[in-house]
Structure 1
């Protein structure tokens, strides 16, 4: 598992940890049943507080992405293919919301935004 923290980011550190672990799970880089570093080890490796790493793990557990076993640690939870797809779509929708907010702030019409999206999507092949 690889997590990089940016102290210059406006995103809180616990959220950076959550986002990066979530992405690794959704991409399949972290597999079902795979052990995550202990809360203390994660804190030590990232040079963050134990409270911060604990909060990140608690949030990931609330989302059903990981589970904890007392005395054993935290592990990647089982996800059906459908559940993983739904979570990936939720992530995409969140990013699109941010982009659309930027479009509105710059007075980009919905038609212009759709045209940009279609052009970029076609250009990915």
Structure 2
């Protein structure tokens, strides 16, 4: 029988660019005492998912939820107020944007999107070596 996860931290942010860094820092801080967690992967994926919420959800707010380690993995959720699913975007090789879903595929391949009563939640898990 597996372990049970609990919420370590949850925070609501306005959909503004300056909130992305705050969400990223909170997520890294939430897992700072867990040595097997790849904090740089957390930093990158929370930055990408929070930026997507800010740029593509149509405004309002987004919520960051960080779960305790469970069965050798952590789970992070980012909820926004838009029911629109994330879209893959085409980009040129040198573009600095448009790669968020590719990064999720590479670093947290089991990620998912769930429709909620208030919009959607993007959920990803990371195992001890920083991969899902």
The structure whose residues are more often strand, as a share, is 2
Q: Using structure 2 for the length normalisation, give the TM-score.
A: 0.29
The structure whose residues are more often helix, as a share, is 1
